[in-house]
Structure 1
């Protein structure tokens, strides 16, 4: 009966149970050594449930952590952005909101996600949601810079690589500063890195 119930799990319920089980297992087993059998047993489901949906454990792990980082990749937090009246204010607001999302998701989820992505050496299995997220981030930065131009601020012509800089900075900061990132640190990133890149 328990087996039948576990097999019927779908969607968020299944992903949550897989995440909890995998997270515990990784305290004992490395990502590269995890098997479907171990994950299925820990999650109290069957291997057939996993085999039907994921061809390899890499694909399973990537989907688990993509699911947990869904809010980041959905980019809905970008809807909270408002025109603050200055590029400095807009960039500080952007980093602050991004950081709040990272704080909510948790550094361990983020670190594990990017660790798993590193296993995809030729980047041939990048999840589609990741690609869409990059496009959303770039569009958000274009809007911020256009607003600055319309206010009369002198904005430099930049590439798509530069437009991803605010998001890349937050990602790197969260990978190397697991103890936390405060508002003063975010302001420093804006003043010493971002403004010199985007503003004359």
Structure 2
């Protein structure tokens, strides 16, 4: 006789739902994405999903965040520039994985539903990329590459904002040349400017 299936709980169940949501997004896009379809893929029920995520936009954000997460990512190549190149590349590849139609679909929800707009604002303000940038900058200061920098919250999450803007406008995977341009032409000058401003202050 076949062994009975073990009931999934906790993180195992959540991961199954997030994987199912991501597969559904890739197959049908945001416009046709539904909690019911995700539940069927994950082998669970709609109430189980709604106990964790209150709407489909929230579930989409969560499934996106589970792809190549930034939280525990901390490049340490030994140089500020190459650390930033690795970070920007990581963010860009995450943006590439999140299809433009999905981004457009979520943004349309933002304009129609204030609760989704608030969710997006909260996720942007709490984006883990700022903590990663802070670690990269602190290491660069310790190596003597740059003077101490006071990294504002907006400056800390700017790598994410720059990549997201390029991805949405160009509607194509970001090239390596574009990543180099953002690092060399925008972000490194910004960090050096912040360091000078701190010294002058």
Give the Å deviation of 1:183: 0.4
- Pick from 175, 178, 182: which aligns with 1:182? 175
CA contact (8 A) 1:18 1:43 kept: no
SS of 1:157's partner is coil
CA contact (8 A) 1:73 1:130 kept: no
Give the Å deviation of 1:180: 1.9
Q: 1:159 to 1:78 in 2, by over 3 A?
A: same
Give the distance between the partners of 2:156 and 2:38, measured in 1 at CA. Answer: 42
CA contact (8 A) 2:36 2:46 kept: yes
User: Structure 1 regions of 5+ residues with no counterpart?
Assistant: 1-9
- Pick from 137, 140, 143: which aligns with 1:145? 137
Give the TM-score taking structure 2 as reference length.
0.65
Give the Å deviation of 1:91: 1.3
Give the distance between the partners of 1:42 and 1:121, measured in 2 at CA. Answer: 24
Give every structure 1 segment of 4 or more consecutive aligned residues whose post-TM-superposition deviation is greater than 6 Å: 41-45
CA contact (8 A) 1:88 1:195 kept: yes
> For the aligned residues, what is the CA RMSD?
4.0
User: Structure 2 regions of 5+ residues with no counterpart?
Assistant: 1-12, 194-201
Aligned pairs, how many?
A: 175
1:91 matched to which residue of 2? Answer: 84
Q: 1:181 to 1:24 in 2, by over 3 A?
A: closer
Give the Å deviation of 1:84: 3.4
1:20 matched to which residue of 2? Answer: 24
